[in-house]
Amino acid sequence: MADESFTQAVPAFEIATRLDRLQSRLREAEIDAAVIVQTADLYYLSGTAQAGHLVVPAQGESVLLVRRTLERAQVESPLEKITQMGSLRELAPALAEAGVSSGRIGLELDVLPAARYLDYTRRLSAYDITDCSEQLRALRAVKSAWEIDRIRDAAAMISGIAEHMHAVFRGGMTEIELAAEIEYWVRMAGHQGQLRMRAFNGDLHYGTVTAGPASALPGGTDTPLVGLGVNPYIGKGPSSRQITAGMPIVVDLVGSSLGYIADQTRCFSAGVLATRLLDAYELSCEIVAAVSQAARPGRTGSELYELALGMTGELAPQCASGTRVSFIAHGFGLELDEPPFFARAWDHPLEEGMVFALEPKFVFPGEGAVGLENSYVVGARGGECLTTAPEELIALSL
């Protein structure tokens, strides 16, 4: 008997709709079946993140083969066919039982480790293995009403950041001390703690809190801001540096609800901020307003990226490495780096139901960084804002 704490989070109608849409995309791509193993994709298509293989034939009923733990998977997933999988020797027979004894098999080749891929090619020698990640990512990019409600819940979790900053900030505290106060607050509100990215070596924990010159330090991630971090192994995020008068404070925080996230950045200052940083922040707000309004179905990410850059003049948005950022907005959902992307050469048209986090930020080496970030859902009239915290830059008492 399963523990009573195991619950089904994703409704059966959501899973059924997603599988139907994936099967349609598989047929269009002439892929006979997909074998899903990555955690976020497994959760999206089955409702459970238990280790296993989800076999999705282009036609017919899907089956979830669970390595561990079957008991939890049977409670958490609404799928009818969930069985124990003792070893990978059972994968080919399961495909055959699903009606696919030969043909093209899709794997998530954008994230699958090379050693695992080579093992699958050996075990599935009767099949032609191809990539199905494009079909999966396009499917996940358009959110259902249920998913958008979860994102609204995630945004509500972090909506009170201004009040919380007033309550916990004190002059002389370090970045890591401030981050701990914020992380405790969202954790107590039910935050899941761990956040997922699809990119290789991508990882995140609640978000990023940086202040003053540390916000402008270069780093190895393709993000507007990096931070110093607590040691070279992590190399990003809050550090033990002290927050002192005149420093801008950037709180880039991610809320969560049943795996779904919302991304929001708000800026504060320790006392009075320099005029040029205040001006840059105002420009960031203007870019957010203009680009979000223009984010209608049919517009491309590259068009919106160029729109944002055209508004900046000499203050082109920079990342902390001193170069222009490669994007001005990114999609999100179960992972923080989902399509769509507002970036040069990203020419896919937006669709209703896509969500994006718009984050123009400006870096001033030796001084700090400022910027605004909101999460939006694409609608007929442009982006509807899902993050509701006050947008003004707030000066905190020292």
Residue 322, pLDDT above cutoff 90: no
The per-residue pLDDT for range 190-214, each reduced to its tens digit, is 999 999 999 998 888 899 999 999 9
What distances in angstroms separate CA 137 from CA 1, 21, 38, 333, one per listed residue? 36, 12, 12, 11
The per-residue pLDDT for range 238-292, each reduced to its tens digit, is 999 999 999 999 999 999 999 999 999 999 999 999 999 999 999 999 999 999 9
pLDDT for 202: 87
Retrieve residue 213's tokens: 């010159």
The per-residue pLDDT for range 83-123, each reduced to its tens digit, is 999 999 999 999 999 999 999 999 999 999 999 999 999 99
What average pLDDT does this structure show over 228-235? Answer: 94
In angstroms, the CA 308 to CA 284 distance is: 9
Overall fold of domain 12-140: Creatine Amidinohydrolase; Chain A, domain 1 (3.40.350)
Domain 142-396 = CATH 3.90.230.10:
yes
Q: What percent of the chain has pLDDT over 90?
A: 90
What distances in angstroms separate CA 49 from CA 8, 224, 354, one per listed residue? 11, 31, 23
Residue 342, pLDDT above cutoff 60: yes
In angstroms, the CA 149 to CA 152 distance is: 5
pLDDT for 321: 47
pLDDT for 149: 98
What is the domain partition of the chain in residue ranges? 12-140, 142-396
Q: State pTM to two decimals.
A: 0.95
The per-residue pLDDT for range 48-71, each reduced to its tens digit, is 999 999 999 999 999 999 999 999
In angstroms, the CA 219 to CA 229 distance is: 10
The per-residue pLDDT for range 349-372, each reduced to its tens digit, is 999 999 999 999 999 999 999 999
